[in-house]
Structure 1
Amino acid sequence: MNAPTPVILITGAAGALGRAVAQRLAADGASLVLFDRDAAALNQLFPQAVAEAVDITDEGAVAAAVQRALQALGRLDALVHVAGGFEMGETVDALSRASWDRMIALNAWSFVALAKACVPAMKRQGGGSVVAVSAAAAGSGRALKGAYTAAKSALQRLVETLASECAGSGVRVNSVAPTTLDTPANRATMPDADRSGWVSLESAADAIAFLATKAGAAVHGQHLRLG
Structure 2
Amino acid sequence: MADKTVLITGATGNLGRAVAESFLKEGARLALVGSRKESLERAYGGLAAEHLGLAADLGDALAAAGAVAEAERVFGRIDAVCAIAGAFEMGGAVHEAPPELAERMMKANVATMVNVVRAAVPGMIARKSGKIVTIGSTAALKGTAGMGAYTASKSTVMRLTESMAAELRGSGINVNCVLPSTIDTPENRAGMPKADFSKWVKPVELAAVIAFLCSDGASAMHGALVPVVGLV
TM-score greater than 0.5 by the shorter chain: yes
Matches within 5 A, 1:74-89: 74-89=76-91
Instruction: Give the secondary structure class of the aligned counterpart of 1:10.
Output: strand
Q: CA deviation at 1:65?
A: 1.1
Instruction: Give the secondary structure class of the aligned counterpart of 1:9.
Output: strand
Residue equivalent to 2:181: 179
Q: Provide the rounded CA distance (Å) in 2 between the counterparts of 1:194 and 1:122.
A: 42
Matches within 5 A, 1:192-207: 192-207=194-209
- Report the CA distance shift for 1:123/1:4 in structure 2 as closer, same or farther (over 3 A): farther
Query: After superposition, what is the alpha-carbon deviation per residue over 1:103-154, rounded to whole angstroms, capped at 9, x for unaligned?
Result: 1111112221111101111111120000001111111111111111101101
Which residue identity lines up with residue 120 of structure 2 in the other structure?
A: C
Q: CA deviation at 1:42?
A: 2.1
Matches within 5 A, 1:76-225: 76-225=78-227
Contact 2:91 2:149 (C-alpha < 8 Å) held by counterparts: no
Q: CA deviation at 1:44?
A: 4.1
Matches within 5 A, 1:42-57: 42-46=40-44, 47-48=47-48, 49-57=51-59
Task: State which of 15, 20, 25 in structure 2 corresponds to 1:27.
Answer: 25
Segment drifting more, 118-127 vs 169-178: 118-127
Segment drifting more, 109-118 vs 147-156: 109-118
Report the TM-score when normalising by structure 1: 0.95
- Percent identity, aligned pairs only? 40
Q: Provide the rounded CA distance (Å) in 2 between the counterparts of 1:109 and 1:202.
A: 26
Query: After superposition, what is the alpha-carbon deviation per residue over 1:131-182, rounded to whole angstroms, capped at 9, x for unaligned?
Result: 0011111111111111111011011111010000002100100000100111
Q: CA deviation at 1:4?
A: 6.8
Q: Provide the rounded CA distance (Å) in 1 between the counterparts of 2:129 and 2:110.
A: 23
Which residue identity lines up with residue 34 of structure 1 in the other structure?
A: L
- Report the CA distance shift for 1:44/1:93 in structure 2 as closer, same or farther (over 3 A): closer
Q: CA deviation at 1:194?
A: 1.6
Instruction: Give the secondary structure class of the aligned counterpart of 2:175.
Output: strand
Q: Provide the rounded CA distance (Å) in 1 between the counterparts of 2:170 and 2:20.
A: 28
Query: After superposition, what is the alpha-carbon deviation per residue over 1:66-113, rounded to whole angstroms, capped at 9, x for unaligned?
Result: 101101100100000111111113311112221111111111122211
Instruction: Give the secondary structure class of the aligned counterpart of 2:171.
Output: coil
Q: CA deviation at 1:43?
A: 3.1
Contact 2:129 2:172 (C-alpha < 8 Å) held by counterparts: yes
Question: RMSD across aligned C-alpha pairs, in angstroms?
Answer: 1.4
Q: Provide the rounded CA distance (Å) in 1 between the counterparts of 2:2 and 2:182.
A: 36
Q: CA deviation at 1:215?
A: 2.9
Report the TM-score when normalising by structure 2: 0.93
Q: Does 1:12 align with 2:10?
A: yes
Residue equivalent to 2:62: 60
Unaligned runs of 5+ in 2: none
How many residue pairs match? The answer is 225
Which residue identity lines up with residue 224 of structure 2 in the other structure?
A: Q
Segment drifting more, 76-85 vs 194-203: 194-203
Q: CA deviation at 1:216?
A: 1.9
Which residue identity lines up with residue 9 of structure 1 in the other structure?
A: L
Q: CA deviation at 1:190?
A: 1.2
